[in-house]
Structure 1
Amino acid sequence: MKTIKQLMSSPVVMATVETTVQDLRKLMSKHDIGAVPITDEGSGADILGIVTDSDLRNVKDSTLPVMSVMSTKLCYINKDDSTATAANLMLKNGIHHLLVREHNEVVGILSSVDLLKLVASKPITFQPQLFFV
């Protein structure tokens, strides 16, 4: 079974609170990612929030700083935790991205799409359905 460390995206692409929505959209497109942690001083600083592609969907003013659209509700998982734990955390908190930690340092991001790819990679076994009328 694959581990969170094998499924997560790494290294983590980060932005600062001063980054504009327009620049963040470009960054996300360039790296083909759906979420970016936001720091106050760049990489290595404390993570203050996260911006996802969903957060940006309805933002009309591209000059806004990402600080105005970021979510401060952060969920973390350890790189050695199970994929079931990750899925449960996402469901419980209604989120699609978890920050992955190793020794209190963020080393990756796990998305619900990463988990879906894991499920989709499993062979499909036919199981007849019983229908009762």
Structure 2
Amino acid sequence: MKKVKDLMTEGCVTVTPKDNVYKIAVLMAEHDIGFVPVVEDQDHTKLIGVVTDRDLVRRGIAMKKPGSTAVTEVMTEQPITVSPEELADEATDIMAHYQVRRLPVVDQGKLVGVVTLGDMALKNTSNASHALHDISKHEQLDTHYLQ
């Protein structure tokens, strides 16, 4: 069985609490990503939160916050994480349960990578389609609520 460490992306783009919403948006555009981990500082990779493209829209733009708004005002604190030693199928179960497409990979409190549902699907883990189904079902309900 594959482990998360076999599928994760290492060396991911990060920001610190000193950064702002504009910087996150620029990084997301430059790197074609929708998820940025927030670490204590660039020298120490202690994970303190994450920002998704959805966070930027719901907690930033929709709340009319300017680009100079601090990362900490839009980030999700205490995100669900996974260990690099976790089995890939268990990670997809976590994604399905918590309705997330991306998980920070943390080892002894330090960010070591990110694993995505896409990573799981590309590597043919058995639970990836189940997780995607559960997450998509939730998003359909959420979209219906907004109409």
Q: What range describes the TM-score normalised by the shorter chain of this pair?
A: 0.7 to 0.9
Structure with more helix by fraction:
2
Residue of structure 1 in register with 2:83 after alignment: 78
Q: Please give the TM-score of this superposition, normalised by the length of structure 1.
A: 0.76
List alignment gaps of at least 5 residues for structure 1.
121-133
How far is the alpha carbon of 1:73 from its aligned partner? Answer: 3.2
Residue of structure 1 in register with 2:22 after alignment: 22
1:35 counterpart = 2:35: yes
Larger deviation, residues 4-13 vs 83-92: 4-13
Alpha-carbon separation, structure 1, partners of 2:21 and 2:2 = 34
Q: What secondary structure is seen at the aligned counterpart in 1 of 2:118?
A: helix
Q: Please give the TM-score of this superposition, normalised by the length of structure 2.
A: 0.69
How far is the alpha carbon of 1:29 from its aligned partner? Answer: 2.2
CA deviation vs aligned residue, 1:52-88 (integer Å, no higher than 9, x gap):
1221234323221111110013122121221111011
The answer on whether the counterparts of 2:9 and 2:114 sit within 8 Å (CA) in structure 1 is yes
CA deviation vs aligned residue, 1:114-133 (integer Å, no higher than 9, x gap):
2232339xxxxxxxxxxxxx
List alignment gaps of at least 5 residues for structure 2.
126-147
Alpha-carbon separation, structure 2, partners of 1:103 and 1:30 = 30
The answer on whether the counterparts of 1:14 and 1:43 sit within 8 Å (CA) in structure 2 is no
Residue of structure 1 in register with 2:131 after alignment: none
Give runs of aligned pairs for residues 95-114 of structure 1, distance below 5 A.
95-114=100-119
- Shift of the 104–67 alpha-carbon distance from structure 1 to 2, 3 Å rule, reads closer
Alpha-carbon separation, structure 1, partners of 2:90 and 2:54 = 23
Please report the RMSD computed on the Cα atoms of aligned residues, expressed in angstroms.
2.2
Larger Rg: 1
Alpha-carbon separation, structure 2, partners of 1:110 and 1:43 = 22
Q: Which runs of 4+ in 1 moved over 4 A?
A: none
The answer on whether the counterparts of 2:95 and 2:101 sit within 8 Å (CA) in structure 1 is yes
Q: What secondary structure is seen at the aligned counterpart in 2 of 1:57?
A: helix
How far is the alpha carbon of 1:103 from its aligned partner? Answer: 4.3
How far is the alpha carbon of 1:45 from its aligned partner? Answer: 4.5
